[in-house]
Amino acid sequence: MTLITIESEITGNVWKIEAAAGTATDEEDVILILESMKMEIPVESPEKGIIKEILVNEGDQVQEGQGLAILDTDS
């Protein structure tokens, strides 16, 4: 099992979670949308895999570098 932690590149709020744990994703599929400085910023899957865990909830504040989701790329 190869697990990747998808981290936030910015400080902001979690506006919407688009994919739940267990969802199969392709590269560039949107997992969740952050809101920061009036911008909606999609967080995309870096590669094909299955989302093992979503680490945040809608409305949460997140910091730059904080883990948002864990992706299993061997699945």
Residues that bind other proteins (CB under 8 A): 9-10, 12-13, 15-16, 30, 33, 35-42, 44, 58-59
Query: Contact, 73 vs 51, CB < 8 A?
Result: no
Quote the tokens at residue 27.
């590269």
CB closer to other proteins out of 3 and 16: 16
Considering the complex, what minimum distance in angstroms separates the CB of residue 45 from other proteins? 13
Count the helices and strands in the chain (H runs, E runs): 0, 8
Nearer CB in complex with other proteins: 27/58: 58
